[in-house]
A and B are shown apart, each in its own frame.
Chain A
Amino acid sequence: MNMVNIKINNKDVKVAKGTSILNAAKEVGITIPNLCYHPDQEVKANCRVCVVEVEGARTLQASCATEVKEGMVIRTNTQKVRQSRKVVIELLLANHDMDCTSCKKNNQCDLQEIAANIGVRESRFENVLVKQEIDTSSSSIERNPNKCIRCGRCIQMCSEVQGLAILDYVGRGGSVDVKPAFGMYLNNAACVACGQCSVVCPVAAITEKEDIEQVWEAINNPNITVVVQTAPAVRVSLGEEFGLEPGKIVTGKLVASLRALGFDKIFDTDFTADLTIIEEGHELLKRLSDGGTLPMLTSCCPGWVNFIEQYYPELLPHLSSCKSPQQMFGALVKGYYAEKIGKKPKDVYSVSIMPCTAKKFEAKREEMSVDGENLDVDIVLTTRELAKMLRQAGVDFTILEEEEYDTPFGLSSGAGVIFGATGGVMEAALRTVYEVVTGKTLENLDFMAVRGLEGIKEAKVDLDGTIVKVAVAHSLSKAKQIMELIKEGKADYSFIEIMCCPGGCIGGGGQPFGGTDELRIKRTNAIYEADKGLPIRKSHENPAVSELYKEFLIEPLGEKSHHLLHTKYVNRKK
């Protein structure tokens, strides 16, 4: 590697050519505060918080945007730098809603943290904020323009990664705002509610729609049985909220914490992930044998379903009719479990803990009600909201003893767990489809070709002589590429898995704030580690699933499944 010699704060350092001053400083243990910079995004250099002195330069330089050069002499903490940073932060605060103590991101706000760290005690400038309406129109995310610092991270996420560009800069000068075109409400704009904007927002300008209070009410109502399901990806990220190492598997603590909060039954969405594989696997086999529409597209990701309904409705026949694991779960709770425990559906409150904001919207779709009166999933909480509930209740997550899920929906396979990572649904399906079709035992369960953070992945599987070609895509810009291939008739795949968020659900819009690729890799590794550690790793070998078919569902794609586990989609082009 090409190295250059530089001096940072009088210390000689050797760093790789092309490194930014910001990252070079990090290597020698100096954190330069920054707001608009994000390691996975293009450099924007607009917040001007990360400025440093570079000898010979006329002005201070943005350390995020300046590459080191041989012989460069950098000072990160001079009076000039300190003064500039302070003024910049004070300027931001002077156009910011300063209700920090009641803010949704109190103690989780980058602006607040930097202000505290660099010693801002007051803004010496007059607060000039012109209060704007908070956009609460979306059932998934909330946009509070009064908190926005115009850093543009959400814009890049929405346009570059998701390919949607719902949010952009509007206006100029002092009246620049970040909002949908024509100031539209989010629910009128063609937003898919993925919430990726909220993950990268350094302040509280975009957050999840908070639904915590309803859950407390249900928990504290003695007449209601509150059941909760936990998505695969939550168990590898929730620990981060409590300072645990990223990528730590906290399944047992998660169960214990939910019990500590007062949930009556703690179930696992992984169970219905296994069920999804059975239903979806059979749907695929049926399409293959009956000449149905191919390639078949997965339907477990609600952000992705929103995307195809809004942007490619002409391709809806490709979409699997299977409900997502969350909604299969909800349907079973209200359409099976309630009766089993002698309760009316309205007296069983169904909560799900998801890494996702779009799940909130999905749960509210009117077709997601088996009795036509009560929603199958009453409330969806994100990973972040669960962490908030635990903090509210004073539960010390780090010292909780591990506990087990309840029966009957607590048992799952490794195939269900890997739903949380991009490629996981595909891999889980292949494990089952292979054995169902060939009647043979799969020797190697690890389909490495569909794993990892590459945008579009392909694999070929030999099903006893029949070669099945599959593809996996994550993030909507990649989904768009696949959709165009299908439209051009160039997608010679049988089955395609699509996840809306980068990395799949482990990188979901409801996961802890500040997601980066580095974190996604750690969470992904944890997901596969969890899979490896389970005694059952194939969905069709989950005895609880077999039991459910025997006792209630009878057969995959059967009449009960049709009613409870499958759904229809609508053209929602905007």
Chain B
Amino acid sequence: MSNIEITKKILTARFDVINHDSIDEYISHNGYTALKKAMATTGEKIISEVKTAGLKGRGGAGFPTGLKMESVLQAEGLPKYIICNADEGEPGNFKDRYLMEKDPHQLIEGIIICAYAANINHGYIFIRGEYINAINIMDKALEQARVNGYLGDNILDSGFNFDMEIYTGAGSYICGEEFALLVTIEGKQGRATYKPPFPTTCGLYNKPTQINNVETFCNIPHIINMGGEEFSKIGTDSSKGTKLVCLSGNIVNPGLYEVELGTSIRDIIDKLGKGVPNNRAIKMVQLGGASGPVIPENMLDIKLDSKEMSKIDLTYGSGAIIVMDDRIDILDILKRIIEFFHHESCGKCTPCREGLTQMLILLDRFIDGVATSDDLAILEILMETMNQASICGLGQAAPTATQKVLEYFREEFTSKIRSTDSNVV
């Protein structure tokens, strides 16, 4: 297979074809046609198309987008809000930045369609503070959309009013967590909170709120244009459409690729990334970003398919693929990952706040070669508690990579247990 065969450009089709600064070029490349089509029909019809399409959230959790839209539409309480989560902070991810920088109107069109579907009049794009370029581009694009009548009052003479503004975070990872993001817009400290209730019924200012990832919104115009039925033919039975993949690490051609869901990780690494420099062996690949699982080389044939992956307790998450060759020190990698979460934890709940500190201490014992088998046992119990009892996804997912290392590379830990300890696992 060549590149062309496994690359499927839908969301990235206009990348570098049109000038991102020009709404006219966007319009001349099929832009805002989906919005017109959508506005000629009802919210229910739009949502039904999205459900038929089988689109699932692209931020990592994979919740069915149509269901989310439906529950916002049905939720009681006004005003309702729509928020685009562009706080792309997961290490290894840069797809949302590209989507905003290369084709800003695709995102804007997707958000407007969703707002129209659930009759929402106000929206926010929450963009990570470090994404200065994306912020400027989106800002300009929003203004162009206003001038051209796609935002503001009486959009396209439909009687529908909608506008949105950019809100920038200060760079805190936790603010990508939806509740932390919401309270930040409200002017509070970015800390997670318990759910339910979910944002769809009780979100921004306790009002029904639809929050989706940038890539999710960018799929919407294509679903409307091709129809849900047609869209659902792309991908696999359980994973529809394409996926933007952020390929990084020890790879010849790192970068952003769009592939049809169902593509194998090995194909992405070998055919798009052109393998590992100097043909070194792959030791481990991390999926989704720092909070995602790691797999060994012999599992790379697994496909980006939620059903297949969930069978072995994996997810493709937000689509990052980080390749690590045989020179890496796995425990060192894990320590860096946990240091990242330790730094980014909001500190609200006990398992995450205190657990990450203790994970670092325990990892250091293995790195220093002074760990005992008891240390391994308590590390595993601690991580299980973090998975089970943390208040939000950060604490629940932070130990994932370490747990997967213990599943696939257990000797990395057991070999570091002090040899005087007779009770080696």
Contact = CB atoms under 8 A, between A and B. Distances in A.
Task: Tell me, yes or no, whether A binds B.
Answer: yes
A281 to B, nearest CB: 46
A289 to B, nearest CB: 49
B347 A80 contact: no
B194 A171 contact: no
Contacts of B347: 150, 169, 171-176
Nearest to A64: B194
Contacts of A150: 347-348, 350, 353
Given A65-B194, A84-B385, A174-B342, A47 B349 contact: yes
B59 interface: no
Nearest to B365: A126
Nearest to B174: A172
A173 B385 contact: no
B384 interface: yes
B51 to A, nearest CB: 23
Contacts of B254: none
Contacts of A171: 347
A275 to B, nearest CB: 48
A10 B235 CA distance: 44
A395 interface: no
Interface string A124-146: 11101000000000000000000
A45 B193 contact: yes
B389 A128 contact: no
B354 A172 contact: no
A46 B349 contact: yes
A88 interface: yes
B348 A51 contact: no
A175 B351 CA distance: 14
Interface string A159-203: 000000000010111111000000000000000000000000000
Contacts of B13: none
Interface in A241-265: none
Contacts of B351: 48, 87-88, 91
B389 A169 contact: no
A125 B347 CA distance: 18
**In the complex, which of the residues A47, A66, A92 has the most CB atoms of chain B within 10 Å of its own CB atom?**
A47
Interface in B149-197: 172, 174, 189, 191, 193-194, 196
Interface in B232-279: none
Given A46-B348, A128-B361, A83 B378 contact: no
B358 interface: yes
A326 interface: no
Contact of A91 (B191, B355, B388): B355
Interface string A59-97: 110100110000000000000100110011001101100
Contacts of B336: none
Contacts of A173: 342-347, 353, 356
B396 interface: yes
Among A51, A59, A91, chain B packs the most CB atoms within 10 A around the CB of A91
Nearest to A57: B388
Interface string B392-406: 000010000000000
A176 B348 CA distance: 8
Contacts of B193: 45
B387 interface: yes
A62 B194 contact: yes
Contacts of A46: 348-350, 391
Nearest to A48: B389
Given A46-B348, A62-B194, A124-B378, A95 B357 contact: yes
Contacts of B343: 173
A91 B345 contact: no
B334 to A, nearest CB: 17
B281 interface: no
Contacts of A91: 350-351, 354-355, 358, 382
A39 to B, nearest CB: 17
A174 B378 contact: no
> Size range of the interface on A?
20 to 34
A43 interface: yes
A240 B308 CA distance: 60
Interface string A330-352: 00000000000000000000000
What DSSP secondary structure best describes chain B's contact surface? helix
B353 A84 contact: no
Contacts of A83: 381, 384-385
B358 A59 contact: no
Nearest to A35: B350
A176 B353 contact: yes
Given A83-B385, A88-B351, A174-B356, A43 B346 contact: no
B390 interface: yes
B194 A174 contact: no
Nearest to A65: B194
Contacts of B174: 172
Given A47-B349, A94-B358, A176-B347, A59 B388 contact: yes
Nearest to A80: B388
A83 B377 CA distance: 13
B121 to A, nearest CB: 29
Find the residue from B345, B354, B382, B387 having the highest chain A CB count within 10 A.
B354
A174 B343 CA distance: 8
Contacts of A66: 196
B23 to A, nearest CB: 40
B349 A125 contact: no
Contacts of A126: 358, 361
Contacts of B357: 95, 128, 174
Interface in B353-369: 353-358, 361
A330 B172 CA distance: 55
B345 A95 contact: no
A176 B356 CA distance: 13
Contact of A59 (B344, B345, B387): B387
Interface string B128-143: 0000000000000000
A59 B396 contact: yes
A49 B349 CA distance: 10
B388 A60 contact: yes
Contacts of A48: 349-351, 389-391
A128 B358 contact: yes
A87 B381 contact: yes
Given A46-B349, A128-B361, A88 B389 contact: yes
Interface in A85-113: 87-88, 91-92, 94-95
B358 to A, nearest CB: 5
Contact of B350 (A43, A47, A59, A169): A47
B195 to A, nearest CB: 8
Contacts of A174: 342, 345, 347, 353-354, 356-357
B358 A88 contact: no
A65 B388 CA distance: 15
A267 B387 CA distance: 59
A27 to B, nearest CB: 22
A62 B351 CA distance: 12
A72 to B, nearest CB: 13
Given A92-B354, A128-B357, A128-B361, A87 B391 contact: no
Nearest to A177: B347
B276 to A, nearest CB: 34
B346 A59 contact: no
Interface of A: 43, 45-49, 51, 59-60, 62, 65-66, 80, 83-84, 87-88, 91-92, 94-95, 124-126, 128, 149-150, 169, 171-176
Given A60-B388, A95-B357, A174-B347, 7 more contacts: A51-B388, A80-B388, A87-B355, A87-B382, A125-B361, A128-B354, A176-B348
25 contacts: A43-B194, A45-B193, A46-B391, A48-B349, A60-B388, A65-B194, A84-B389, A87-B381, A87-B389, A88-B385, A95-B354, A125-B358, A128-B361, A150-B347, A150-B353, A172-B174, A172-B345, A173-B344, A173-B345, A173-B353, A173-B356, A174-B354, A174-B356, A174-B357, A176-B348
Q: Nearest 6 CB-CB pairs, A to B?
A: A176-B347, A91-B354, A45-B194, A173-B345, A87-B385, A65-B194
